[in-house]
Amino acid sequence: MGLRFSKMHGIGNDFVVIDRRADPVAPEARRVRAMADRHTGIGFDQLLTVEPARDPSCAFRYGIWNADGSPSGQCGNGARCVAAWLHREDLLPMGRAVWLESPSGPVAVRLDGPLDVAVDMGEPRFDPARVPFEADVDAASHLLDVDGQMLAIGVASMGNPHAVLAVDDVAAATIDRLGPRITAHPRFPQQANAGFVQVVGRDHLRLRVHERGAGWTLACGTGACAAMAVLRRRGVVDAEVRVELPGGTLAIAWPGPGHALWMRGPAAFVFEGEWLA
């Protein structure tokens, strides 16, 4: 018997979802890498496992594994896909918030439509020690030396580490070079997702993200949340924004400190399959 899976995506950020409720064993990194290969495997940014909850306050748990086989702490687009998958299995009701257990802790999800999901991503954390990021003080901007170029970045954790750099144009060629260097910068001891954000207006952002363990992706839900939170902290954007990514658009709402940040967007099924290797 092979391994049954669902291929899904959230505005182009693509996943394989595996039902591990009866056998909640972490997948081998070697197997994840083989499945993630876009030429000889299925191809995906992250693998998601649906498991029994360990936290009694949560309905289910989900695990997140990057394409290189490394574990991830959070994935906003992945959370939406897990919610849609559970709804298809008649395990998640429509219109009511339900708690799911992520690797970084509980998150609330609400289905506003079968493939339209809102996720409570919690409150953004900016303390460098919690990102983690090597810095002496918590600040809205930190100078980062990248190949002799000083960049003013914001840092935030949405359950995983993010670096956010405001740019004039997300299509600039220099971004392709900077993304991997920021991700692997030694001041991020666990690496970081590097987000490049262009402010179109106080309610409209454009974003590209280079993800640790996955590289450039069409969309990054936590990256959209982090970019909005960093700019909201600086007073650049309003409490509700739309974030335009290469794969589509997400709606992000965050009133400010002391409040949870909500992300809303679509989830889509692509195909079902069986991994035989």
Q: Looking at the structure, tell me whether residues 154 and 270 fall in a common domain.
A: no
Q: Looking at the structure, tell me whether residues 112 and 132 fall in a common domain.
A: no
Mean pLDDT of 188-194: 98
Q: Looking at the structure, tell me whether residues 68 and 187 fall in a common domain.
A: no
- pLDDT by residue (tens digit) across 48-70? 999 999 999 999 999 999 999 99
Q: Looking at the structure, tell me whether residues 65 and 104 fall in a common domain.
A: yes
- pLDDT by residue (tens digit) across 92-151? 999 999 999 999 999 999 999 989 999 999 999 999 999 999 999 999 999 999 999 999
45 vs 37: CA distance, rounded Å: 10
Q: How confident is the model at residue 152 (pLDDT cuts 50, 70, 90)?
A: very high
Beta carbons within 8 Å of 143's beta carbon, 6+ residues apart: 150, 151, 152, 153
Q: What is the pLDDT of residue 60?
A: 98
Q: Looking at the structure, tell me whether residues 98 and 187 fall in a common domain.
A: no
How many independent structural domains does the chain possess?
2
Tell which residue, 161, 160, 15, 12, has the closest CA to residue 78: 15
Average pLDDT, rounded, for the chain: 96
**φ and ψ at residue 145, rounded to 5 degrees:** -85, 115
Q: Looking at the structure, tell me whether residues 96 and 149 fall in a common domain.
A: no
CA 97 to chain centre: 20
Domain of residue 150: give its range.
128-258
Q: What is the pLDDT of residue 21?
A: 96
Q: Looking at the structure, tell me whether residues 61 and 112 fall in a common domain.
A: yes
Find where tokens 């580490």 sit.
161
- Is 75 a known active-site residue? yes
Q: What is the pLDDT of residue 277?
A: 80
- Please report, for residues 57, 143, 155, 242, 258, the alpha-carbon distance to residue 237 in angstroms, rounded to integers and kept in the order given: 34, 22, 17, 10, 17
Q: Are 251 and 240 in contact (CB under 8 A)?
A: yes
Mean pLDDT of 204-227: 96
Q: Looking at the structure, tell me whether residues 251 and 141 fall in a common domain.
A: yes
Q: What is the pTM of this model?
A: 0.91
Q: What is the pLDDT of residue 265?
A: 97
Q: Looking at the structure, tell me whether residues 114 and 159 fall in a common domain.
A: no
Could you tell me the CATH number of the domain that includes residue 211?
A: 3.10.310.10
Active-site residue, selected from the candidate residues 58, 81, 220, 225: 220
Q: Looking at the structure, tell me whether residues 182 and 239 fall in a common domain.
A: yes
Q: Looking at the structure, tell me whether residues 138 and 174 fall in a common domain.
A: yes
Q: Looking at the structure, tell me whether residues 135 and 253 fall in a common domain.
A: yes
